[in-house]
Amino acid sequence: MKKATLITILTAAVTVAAMAQQPRQPKNVEELAKIRTERMTEKLGLTEAQQQEVYALNLEKAEKMKAARQEQMARAAEMRKVREAKMTAMQAERKAEQERLHSILTDEQRQLLEQEQAARAEKMKAQREKRGEKGKDRHRRGFHGKR
């Protein structure tokens, strides 16, 4: 009982210490520029005039980075929409082809086709699961299978 309590207390203490060490993320570009300028002032001993120029430079850089990040996020969202539209179109095309094929086949042939498709789907599922197990092992060991 005492060991469990001690372990719980130590775990909580380590967690709190780890959280306290995480740097706080700046809320906006001005705050980011200010923090960077303060760090440079502390490390390099900047004069007041240098601080103002460095702040302006850091602010400009932070604004450019924010704009680039927003542009990248917009492009990613657009690509996601395009990918989803293509998938929807492919699914509709596959369904139309399947319906056309079913109209050509007899009932018996349709049943055979459905059985074959179910078997193929099961085989692919097993292969995916097998690859998934390999992937899990690979991630655990690290790059190139080394520990």
> How far is the C-alpha of 98 from the C-alpha of 90, rounded, in Å?
12
Phi and psi at residue 11, in whole multiples of 5°? -60, -45
Q: Kindly list the distances between the CA atom of residue 47 and the CA atoms of 42, 53, 85, 88, in Å, as whole numbers in the listed order.
A: 11, 10, 56, 60
Average pLDDT over residues 130-147: 62
Residue 102: pLDDT band (50, 70, 90) is: very high
Structural domain contains residue 9: no
Q: Are residues 94 and 45 in the same domain?
A: yes
CA 135 to chain CA mean position, Å: 17
User: Mean pLDDT for the chain?
Assistant: 86
Residue 103 has pLDDT above 70, yes or no: yes
Confirm if 55 and 34 have CB atoms less than 8 A apart.
Answer: yes
Residue 16: pLDDT band (50, 70, 90) is: low
Q: Are residues 72 and 131 in the same domain?
A: no
Q: Are residues 135 and 66 in the same domain?
A: no
Average pLDDT over residues 107-134: 92
pLDDT for 1 equals 60
Higher pLDDT, 136 or 36: 36
Residue ranges making up the domain that contains 100: 24-104
Q: Are residues 55 and 126 in the same domain?
A: no
> How far is the C-alpha of 62 from the C-alpha of 26, rounded, in Å?
11
pLDDT for 136 equals 62
Q: Are residues 37 and 100 in the same domain?
A: yes
Number of domains the chain contains? 2
